[in-house]
Amino acid sequence: MVTAAYLTKYFSRITIIESDDVLNDTLMKATPNEILDYRCGLENPGSIGRSGIAQIYQAHILEGEGFKIFSELFPRLYDKLFNEYNVRTYSLKNECRFTVNGTLLNQNLTEDMKWLGVDRFTLEIVLRKELCLQFGNQIEWKCKSRVTQLLVDQSLNMVKGVKYRCKENTGSSSFDMYGDFIIDCSGRNSSSTKWLKESLNLTVPTVQIHFGCGYVTYVGERYRTGNPSLDLMPVVFCTANTPDRNVGCYAVPIRTIKPTDTNSLGILSTNAVYCVNSEFSPNDSYE
């Protein structure tokens, strides 16, 4: 979506081909509370049309620069998140405890950075609504449609378009779409390298890294522990430090809420315990 928003500066017509049903009413017309309910595990992503991103309920860190890019492309985004979704930003210098191997990292930052305290699921939905509102006349979505192949001109060594198929009619014929500029935004399971090899005999250099990391993630309300170095810090990170300490944990805020109890910090967080080398099996949906 960020790519599409950026390209509106340079292209008059942009088409997004997306295999999930991301414009369905359940996602697009959901109220802020309904979105939070879905995120809290009352619906699994597949049942509401969003199966394409297995990590959608996993906590995501949005680096400060990423937040700046979002704000430039979507000037109303932050106000919307703040006013309608009870999302706020946090100071990485003063409201975060980030420790690596027992060393506090963020206390001597020369420049403060903002942490956007929102879950990826909510952010994605709000971003999509903004994209449609802001650039609806330039961007066309083809949802429930899967790109299956590249259309190439072998004599020019050039990709000229893509073949895509409507997911609902499994037996249906595929469609061809040509474009002046084609970007693969299909994520970590992209087939582009395979397709480039098949169609143009082009070998894209790749490096395969074997890495195991297991998470257990859940959403919960933060309560006072009596330890000010935790209670005063809405954002808490303690990284794994293999091989000495193989378990890390974090608590990142996704909403401010009315405290339900005098001990509540009034913060709803995504909390995770993780382990490098997969000692805990991945379990994104555990709540």
Ligand X SMILES: Cc1cc2nc3c(=O)[nH]c(=O)nc-3n(C[C@H](O)[C@H](O)[C@H](O)COP(=O)(O)OP(=O)(O)OC[C@H]3O[C@@H](n4cnc5c(N)ncnc54)[C@H](O)[C@@H]3O)c2cc1C
Could you list the residues that contact ligand X (CB under 6 A)?
17-20, 52-53, 55, 58, 60-61, 146-147, 185-187, 215
Q: Minimum distance between the CB of residue 226 and ligand X, rounded to whole angstroms?
A: 29
Q: Minimum distance between the CB of residue 123 and ligand X, rounded to whole angstroms?
A: 11
Q: Minimum distance between the CB of residue 187 and ligand X, rounded to whole angstroms?
A: 2
Of 60 and 114, the one with the shorter C-beta distance to ligand X is 60
| Phi, psi values for residue 19, rounded to 5° | -75, -25
> Using CA atoms in the order 31, 37, 41, 44, what is the torsion angle rounded to 10 degrees?
-20
Q: In what order do the strands lie in the sheet containing 235-238? A: 103-104, 96-100, 235-238, 247-256, 264-276, 213-223
CA angle 60, 64, 70 (to 5 degrees): 80
Q: 17 - beta bridge partners?
A: 142
Question: d(Cα 249, Cα 95) in Å, to the nearest integer?
Answer: 17
| Tokens encoding 173 | 């014929």
How far separated are the first and last CA of the chain, in Å rounded? 28
| Phi, psi values for residue 26, rounded to 5° | -60, -40
Residue type, 166: C
Of 85 and 250, the one with the shorter C-beta distance to ligand X is 250
Of 188 and 258, the one with the shorter C-beta distance to ligand X is 188
Q: Minimum distance between the CB of residue 11 and ligand X, rounded to whole angstroms?
A: 18
Of 239 and 264, the one with the shorter C-beta distance to ligand X is 239
Q: Minimum distance between the CB of residue 233 and ligand X, rounded to whole angstroms?
A: 18
- Contact between 93 and 107 under an 8 Å Cβ cutoff? The reply is yes
Of 20 and 119, the one with the shorter C-beta distance to ligand X is 20
Of 84 and 198, the one with the shorter C-beta distance to ligand X is 198
Q: Minimum distance between the CB of residue 113 and ligand X, rounded to whole angstroms?
A: 14
